[in-house]
Amino acid sequence: MKKFYYILVASFFFDQISKWFVVFWLDLISLNSIDVFPPFLNFRMGWNYGVNFGLLGQQSELKSYFLTVLAIIISGLIMFWIYRTKVTNLQVSFGALLCGGALANAFDRVIYDGAVADFLNMSCCGIYNPFVFNFADVFIFIGAVGLAFSPENKKN
């Protein structure tokens, strides 16, 4: 379980520190846009009140509470599953990434009045991508896909 908590804490703080650095220290909150390595990597300020890619994006206090509580419950269930089941080291890592990202975005919703701070924007090959995301979203995606496709532990 130590590995799980180390990865969870590292992913949580990596996301939060990256948001603080880009949004506040580089002042993206005022500038709204910073071209880093266009078009491949840009910083674009976005406040996401919904889920990935702005789905369910209408601002609602009830929805914000629901999404925050849902992230905490899902993280708790994953922790319980990892603690009570013989899982592989890879599954521990993927579960920790998913939980770290989910809890980082839940923390955002608490401190930013229901919104998640998004700032990463990537485009390629003449295709413009209007969406912004953050490292927590990356961790959630890697964790979820990794858990979905990781092989089962044969010792169960």
Q: Is 154 domain-assigned? A: no
Given a cut of 60, is residue 155 above it in pLDDT?
Answer: no
Q: What is the pTM of this model?
A: 0.90
Residues catalogued as catalytic: 118, 137
Given a cut of 50, is residue 156 above it in pLDDT?
Answer: no
Q: What is the helix (H) or strand (E) element at residue 79, kind and residue range?
A: helix 61-84
Q: Residue 116 belongs to what domain range?
A: 2-149
| Ramachandran class of 122: left when φ > 0, alpha when ψ lies in -120 to 50, beta otherwise | beta
Six token digits for residue 127:
């295709």
Given a cut of 50, is residue 81 above it in pLDDT?
Answer: yes
Q: Is 21 domain-assigned? A: yes
**What Cα–Cα distance (Å) separates residue 18 from each residue in 43, 89, 104, 105, 134?**
11, 27, 11, 13, 9
Q: What is the mean pLDDT of residues 1-29?
A: 97
Angle at 120 between CA 114 and CA 124, to 5 degrees: 140
Q: Is 127 domain-assigned? A: yes
Q: Is 27 domain-assigned? A: yes
Counting the structural domains of the chain, the total is 1
